[in-house]
């Protein structure tokens, strides 16, 4: 059987850490050339790029903010010129801040909403437009169970991730006309830097209310993500798939 993503060209936002880094490696292992954005750490970017190349695939790392609309258009133009286009987009980059709503500052609110919501427009639009032209593509958005359940996480983070669900469902209707699928994964708590911004009490409670009794490993989500954006997942559209270790609801 052929690899899940044989010959695909993928772009993953936030590719140097956690879920993003895991998806970069798994997608490359499954046959995709992988481009990714990152915000700060050149050393981490090079390490991820080396893992992609180790699977015999092309890698492209770009230090660009996911809220930089001009920078994202430039990046997509480069990928179209060099690779011929993008077949897979994963909107993964996100931030969280451990705030109570009563003490959330204007800056904290704006930072989270800008990174997690406004980036959906900046990153998705230029890639989506070229997917329309090629009449094929798969978009996967990484949202959170915090957008669905009343968990003790930050209000601005839950709000931003709920916005991503609306984005997924509405865009999926339009995109289907052009052979493009749009789905999302609602992630539970995975062992990433982002998870460790959550309140300590939530981390401590986690093993009791999740039937798996542990945090998820990033590669566990990445394996399913690879299937979701593959041609074998040909009839799913506008869906939000929960991967949370079996949380009690």
User: Catalytic one among 11, 27, 38, 157?
Assistant: 157
Would you state the structure tokens that stand for residue 52, as one six-digit string?
A: 């992609």
DSSP E strand stretches across the chain: 9-12, 33-38, 59-63, 88-91, 137-144, 180-187, 240-243
228 CB neighbour count, 10 Å cutoff: 20
CA–CA separation, 51 and 242 (whole Å):
28
d(CA 136, CA 108): 37
Residue 228: CB partners within 8 Å, gap ≥ 6?
Answer: 138, 140, 183, 185, 236, 241
Q: Which of 20, 19, 17 is nearest to 40 (CA)?
A: 17
Backbone angles phi, psi at 171, to 5 degrees: -65, -30
**38 assigned to active site:** no
> Tell me, what DSSP letter sits at residue 195?
G
Which backbone phi and psi does 245 adopt, to 5 degrees?
Answer: 80, 15
Catalytic residues: 157
């Amino acid at each position: 059987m052929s690899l899940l993503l044989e010959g695909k060209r993928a772009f993953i936002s936030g590719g140097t850490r956690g879920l993003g880094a895991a998806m970069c490696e798994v997608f490359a292992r499954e046959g995709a050339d992988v481009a990714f954005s990152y915000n700060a750490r050149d050393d981490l970017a090079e390490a991820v790029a080396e893992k992609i190349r180790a699977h015999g695939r092309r890698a492209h790392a770009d230090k660009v903010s996911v809220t930089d609309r001009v920078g994202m258009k430039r990046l997509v133009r480069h990928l179209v010129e060099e690779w011929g286009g993008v077949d897979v987009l994963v909107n993964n980059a996100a931030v969280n801040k451990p705030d109570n709503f009563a003490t959330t500052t204007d800056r904290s609110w704006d930072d989270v909403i800008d990174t997690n919501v406004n980036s959906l427009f900046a990153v998705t639009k230029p890639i989506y437009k070229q997917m329309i032209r090629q009449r094929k593509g798969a978009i996967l958005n990484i949202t959170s169970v915090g957008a669905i359940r009343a968990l003790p996480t930050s209000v601005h983070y839950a709000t931003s991730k709920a916005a991503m669900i609306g984005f997924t469902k509405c865009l999926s209707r339009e995109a289907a006309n052009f052979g493009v699928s749009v789905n999302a994964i609602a992630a539970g708590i995975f062992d990433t830097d982002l998870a460790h911004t959550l309140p300590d009490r939530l981390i401590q409670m986690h093993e009791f209310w999740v039937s798996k009794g542990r945090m998820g490993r990033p590669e566990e989500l990445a394996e399913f993500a690879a299937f979701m954006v593959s041609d074998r997942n040909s009839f799913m559209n506008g869906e939000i798939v929960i991967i949370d270790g079996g949380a009690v609801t």
